[in-house]
Amino acid sequence: MSVAALLRHRDAALALIIAALIGAIGLRAPVFVTPESLTGVLTDTSFLFMLTLAQMAVILTRGIDLSVAANLALTGMIAALASRAAPGLPVVGIIGLSVALGAALGALNGAFVAFVGIPPIVVTLGTLSIYRGVIFLIAGGAWLTSKDMNTAFLAFPKSTLFGAPILIVIAALVSLFFWALLNHSRIGRGLYAVGGNPVAARYCGIDLRVQQFLVYTLAGAVSGLCGYLWVSRYGIAYTDIAQGYELTIIAACVIGGVSIAGGVGSVPGALLGALFLGIVVNALPVINVSPFWQMLISGAVILGAVVINARSERRTGKLILRGARTTDKGARA
């Protein structure tokens, strides 16, 4: 396959790069490519898989949700507090509570974006501070450790289903849900339409406001689910968990080919973007590189990815507008 053909199959190219990356790491540290180690990488990355998909749905509508990590931390803290207050509460109940709570927090974003008409970046910047502050308030600044959580609460993320870690199973189910939603449902196709051309979407009878409200609520629900899983997996809840994770999630989207301008992005692409970052994070200690390098590498990768995205997007743009020149390309923010 020629380079140009690969560029057109962006997901395939990214998958090849990831395979090469795994191979290169394997050459230096064969222990990394054992099934156990790779399963560990997938388990570690499951949060990023789910949150990247949720963020992609938001970005498809030309929005952005900066509050997902704060939402995760808040629902995680409330799940831990609820479990401490009512040790008899089954894990299913905790998960239901977390998803509902996360969805409610996301719906708050959605209401301001969709029905008041405040720009998403402003709303979610505000709720980001609010949610973080509320964690401090409700916990009184305290840390909840595994001693405050009961065994069932802690055991669930470490359990397995059909031999696979439950976190991977949940991430797979969430991915399947997003794939069905985005590719095979009226609502999902509407998200692409709204992001691709809001005016045309409106003439097709798609209500932008309903779409926006739905995606922010959905992003909240996924954050809530991850909130419980995060806190129970790491056995700790405090104000700053997952601080700055929202930017890692957006980075995964960008690497996965999701266009920040909306309307472009696929489930496999987003998953590969998340996997790429997950591998980088997990491989550094294995090949004896200081974890301090992690930030620098992800920064360089994000920049590389956007530059490549921009070139491939320009190419398709010319194909559609045959002969016409996209003069406004550089002027658009």
Partner 1 sequence: MSLSDAKPSPRYAVADRAPRRLSDFLLRWETILVVLLIGVVVVNALISPFFLDFYNLSDATFNFSEKAILALAMTLLIIVRDIDLSIAAIIALASLAMGMAAQAGAPTLALIAIGLAVGVLCGAFNGALVTGFGLPSIVVTIGTMSLFRGIAQVTLGDQAITKYPASFEAIGQGYISDRAPIPISFVLFLVLAVVFGIVLHRTIIGRKLFAIGANPVAALFSGIAVNRIRFWLFVLMGLMAGLAAVLLTGRIGSTRPNIALGFELEVVTMVVLGGVSIAGGAGTILGVALAVFVLGLTTFGLSLVNVPGIVISILNGALLIVSISAPVVVSRLLRGRT
User: Is position 325 an interface residue for partner 1 (rule: CB under 8 A)?
Assistant: no
Stretch that binds partner 1, among 40-48, 170-178, 227-235, 307-315 (CB under 8 A): 307-315
Q: Distances in Å between the alpha carbon of 287 and those of 42, 215, 223, 274, 284?
A: 18, 39, 31, 20, 5
Q: Between 3 and 137, name the residue whose CB sits nearer to partner 1.
A: 137
In a 13 Å sphere around the CA of 42, the CA atoms on its Cβ side amount to: 16
294 touching partner 1, by CB under 8 A: yes
Residue 237 is a binding residue for partner 1 (CB under 8 A): no
Q: Which of 306, 229, 176, 200 is nearest to 47 (CA)?
A: 229
Q: Is residue 136 at the binding interface for partner 1, with CB under 8 A as the rule?
A: yes
Per CB under 8 A, contacts with partner 1 among 36-65 are 62, 64
Can you tell me which of 9, 87, 129, 204 binds partner 1, judged by CB under 8 A? 129
Contact 228, 79 (CB under 8 A): yes
Instruction: State the minimum distance, in angstroms, from the CB of residue 93 to partner 1.
Output: 28
Measured N-to-C along each axis, helices 267-286 and 35-60 cross at an angle, to the nearest 10 degrees, of: 140
Q: Between residue 143 and residue 182, which ones bind partner 1 under the rule CB under 8 A?
A: none
Question: Count of residues for the chain?
Answer: 333
| Angle, helix 10-28 to helix 267-286, in steps of 10 degrees | 10
Q: Note whether 52 and 248 are within 8 A (CB).
A: no
Closer to partner 1 by CB, 231 or 301: give it.
301
Pick the binder of partner 1 from 117, 163, 205, 323 (CB under 8 A).
Answer: 117
Q: CB neighbours of 315 closer than 8 A, spacing ≥ 6? A: 7, 8
The answer to whether residue 126 forms part of the interface with partner 1 (CB under 8 A) is yes
Q: Count, in order, helices (H) and strands (E) of the chain.
A: 14, 4
Shortest Å distance, C-beta 233 to partner 1: 24
Residues 2-31 that bind partner 1 (CB under 8 A): none
User: CA 299, CA 332: separation in Å to the nearest integer?
Assistant: 23
Give the binding site for partner 1 (CB under 8 A).
Answer: 62, 64, 66, 112-114, 116-123, 125-130, 132-134, 136-137, 141, 198-199, 202, 208-209, 212, 239, 247, 250-251, 254, 260-261, 290, 292-300, 302-303, 306-307, 310, 314, 327-333
